Chain A
């Protein structure tokens, strides 16, 4: 299994690996917010960040949008295993929103994130974490416990941390799609600005 996995990845990613020798690769490992559900191609925040970097002449930075709609933190480890062979220089871990929306136990979220962070460390991957909050209707206790997980892990593992991915966008009807949770094109621009600010100090100096 491992042999065939390696062989296939080599075939599939030969171009990527060759390019990575010169480029600094940033992987956004996330859910529908990262994927840009409901937005036109190229409007998701990782794509906007990539465009801005390109406009600034940072052709040495390569952004991979690893967002999968509906994914929970449970999928983080196996997806990290898929990407590890591509040796991204920085992984921005943005999972957890679906765990919250589905009311999954907070302990589960924590343990999935812990095993993913530890796997990344073991494999020499640099990691950054974005925090998430869930809507207040889920109840005061659950929402508080949920929101606490991210800063605690960031502190424990000394990870660069962006407290809330949807800061300034969540709960504002004009910046969200009709489902009330996914940013619209305007909202995605604000998220991209915040992410860019968070990301900039983590990128190599040109």
Chain B
């Protein structure tokens, strides 16, 4: 209690300084809380969108009724609390008004859906009213709007399903469950679980999908769960893949991959926020502590022990740190929910920003425990503090004392705590560890470079004007102080700049390039003889058939005449090997818009038989790398029992998210033309109200052609992708903003701590202009060099991070790099200038008294 009282007295005696300290630390922590909370809100928002497609977190499904043993196994595998709901679905022909259509029957329970919502024509949201109970109460069904049109039905009409008749209770307007995986998207009919069982369609031999959906705690780790379950289930049931587990991340390969990137990216943002706050707080704590050496020396003169002196100052810091954290939390609590309303229209629909408990706890941790950990290294220095220093200009502990071991080991808690926090924040041991190692290397490098630069300043001070000489010598003489400032600014710049480089790489990978418009329909299984009449039909409706590509199914038999079984590693799972060996080949005379040759040459004209050469083959670059293929290699395909050999003449880069039919292997025309084939094609620019008409006309005329309403199915995924792309950009800007705020508070503090020197210069007769110039040069050099070094290191670190975590997605963002260099230098100089002006405005005597 004594320490608390003493510390409080100190704080209230120096209330001006204390307020200033609290303000600086608070500003830095607000930046942290805002960034961290926003990250959390985005994470939640995107995950909920993806969950809405599956309607749950996790689904287990089987083609056979789920036994109690199977569900029991799945639930003990999940090993957490959950809410579950069952579903049965299958395809069936339904009839009404003397017409019949294939549709997908879905039997649900009252808790469906666990995420997302169905929107009905009369009842509106399924979640918000008693719609589900009404459905389950009798022989009622909800029917997709498309089916209503196809069968010419109205609400209240009767539909024959299996052995029974059902009444159309409502029409489904919006259904988030239409996923990209559905090749044959048959219109849905929802009914109760008991009702679907009563149709008589579930018999021996029926092809039914049985599923149980689970809602899990939001913190439950889903990545990799499917594979873990597959292995566990195989061991348990000794039967491969009878029950499969799907998480909401697994529904679309692309979406899952992008969400994983996003997760890691947000983890990285959280780390940046943590380290920015850490750098800011550590710098301020240490500076504060160092500035209190004089008081400690006095205390020791009066008979206090080093320990007592330390406790008193530490208590002061803990109190001030706690005030700052509480003040920052209160400010953020009120400000954060208001922020989205300022950006309506810019933010995605349904996005809400609220303060995350995690961020709050971390901010408080930074303010309290953080201060203790950050000051531990100085504790060891107190033992080298000599009260005789009171008679010197500055009181500092002797640099190297007998306590070097204690000195070095006092840094360990900081390291361990930050390592732990990094793993916790990033939700990834790998990302957290890569980051902290990178950060330590960066600190080492920054320290060395900073030391060299400051030394260079000293060496260069001989041959310049007095003002510059003073500025350069100041930097050299006060090397330790300048170095800590250099480190803080350098690390800040490093953290700020990590994000834009990764952001650019991710953006290029995720966002569908603007030049590729998403078509409205994709069609598969078009037979060669159907191409001409299909073109005619589509032309009559006022549209054009585009991206027409032949597709030939073939098995890869040999590479360079070596049978594939001898080439491939035998340990690959059987399933993968089978998939790898069946390919859809195409042939084309020229490249598509979505393709570019990266190696080799394009072919000229069709292959001529008898030319003595093999037909040319173009392979996608990643496939070539995976399979170890080079230009000049031969591939032999079994095209429906006929061997066709070709030679690789080029490798291609394919923009997979271009929404065009893309192929891994493409042949020179002439070789595959006579082979049995089907065509894929697309239709674009169909007005929304015409889509159903177009789709129906095609289905009626060419029933074997599979048609996908891309806008309807991919639209939702694209919507999420767009939001992710937006979020990545916004987070990048936010992290820069937060970083600049932290740097501002550091620079402000640094200048303020130079009162003594500035004052001295004033007393010695330096003009306002001279003092201003000296400070500007000092902070200009410090800001520029630190920012430059930090940014250079950030390029290296972001590159290695992208290598380890983001599948090497890295692009140099010159604009952002240049801008942040200018911004940080300018910010350092401007902050220095403002703070200097306030010092200059005061009378030297007041300043002398204040110190």
Residues of A within 8 A of B (CB): 1, 4-5, 7-9, 11-13, 16, 27, 38, 40-41, 64-66, 68-75, 77-79, 81-83, 86, 99, 101-105, 108, 112, 135-142, 170-171, 173, 177-181
Contacts and interface: CB of A to CB of B under 8 A. Distances in A.
Contacts of B462: none
Contacts of B706: 102
24 contacts: A4-B609, A4-B674, A9-B674, A11-B609, A12-B643, A38-B578, A40-B574, A68-B553, A72-B704, A78-B676, A79-B640, A99-B704, A102-B706, A103-B186, A104-B704, A112-B704, A137-B201, A138-B92, A138-B93, A139-B93, A139-B95, A173-B64, A177-B240, A178-B240
A197 B206 CA distance: 28
Given A12-B644, A74-B704, A137-B206, A82 B675 contact: yes
Given A75-B676, A104-B703, A180-B63, A139 B641 contact: no
Interface string B56-92: 0000001110000000000000000000000000111
Contact of A171 (B204, B528, B575): B204
A137 B207 contact: yes
Contacts of B201: 136-139
B179 to A, nearest CB: 18
Contacts of A68: 553, 640, 676
A66 B640 contact: yes
Contacts of A104: 703-704
Given A38-B578, A78-B527, A178-B63, A4 B673 contact: yes
Given A78-B528, A79-B676, A103-B91, A4 B670 contact: yes
Given A78-B677, A136-B203, A136-B205, 20 more contacts: A16-B642, A27-B641, A38-B575, A65-B641, A66-B640, A68-B553, A68-B676, A69-B553, A72-B525, A78-B527, A79-B676, A81-B676, A83-B641, A99-B704, A102-B184, A103-B93, A135-B207, A137-B203, A171-B204, A177-B240
A105 B699 CA distance: 11
B90 A137 contact: yes
A135 B703 contact: no
A186 to B, nearest CB: 12
Contacts of A79: 640, 676
Contact of B91 (A27, A137, A170): A137
A7 B63 contact: no
Contacts of A7: 609-610
Nearest to A13: B642
Which 5 pairs of residues, A with B, have the shortest CB-CB distance? A103-B102, A180-B63, A171-B205, A74-B704, A5-B674
B5 interface: no
Nearest to B239: A178
Contacts of B640: 66, 68, 79, 82-83
Interface string B664-680: 00000011011111100
A103 B94 CA distance: 11
Query: Of residues B163, B575, B678, B703, which shows the largest number of chain A Cβ atoms within 10 Å of its Cβ?
Result: B703
A27 B641 CA distance: 10
B162 interface: yes
Given A7-B609, A74-B525, A102-B706, A137 B208 contact: yes
Contact of B641 (A64, A69, A101, A142): A64
Contacts of A70: 525
B416 interface: no
B244 A137 contact: no
A17 to B, nearest CB: 11
A8 B574 CA distance: 34
A41 to B, nearest CB: 8
B517 interface: no
A66 B554 CA distance: 11
Nearest to B704: A74
A82 B674 contact: yes
Nearest to A78: B676
A146 B64 CA distance: 24
Contacts of A41: 565, 578
Interface string B695-735: 00000000110100000000000000000000000000000
B752 interface: no
B424 to A, nearest CB: 38
B529 interface: yes
A137 B92 contact: yes
A8 B301 CA distance: 103
B242 interface: yes
B676 A82 contact: yes
A135 B208 CA distance: 9
A2 B241 CA distance: 46
A44 B659 CA distance: 35
A180 B207 contact: yes
B572 to A, nearest CB: 13
Contacts of B202: 137
Contacts of B91: 101, 103, 137-138
B553 A170 contact: no
A180 B93 contact: no
Query: Of residues B163, B525, B670, B676, which shows the largest number of chain A Cβ atoms within 10 Å of its Cβ?
Result: B676
B582 interface: yes
A99 B706 CA distance: 11
Nearest to A82: B676
Contacts of A40: 574, 578
Contacts of A5: 673-674
Given A75-B527, A78-B528, A138-B92, A8 B704 contact: no
Contacts of A8: 609, 670-671, 673-674
Interface string B193-210: 000000001111111100
Contacts of A112: 704
B647 to A, nearest CB: 15
A201 B255 CA distance: 54
A190 B609 CA distance: 44
Nearest to B645: A12
A1 B205 contact: no
B642 to A, nearest CB: 5
A46 B642 CA distance: 16
B151 to A, nearest CB: 14
Contacts of A101: 91, 207
Contacts of B203: 136-137
Contacts of B530: 74
A69 B527 CA distance: 15
Nearest to A179: B63
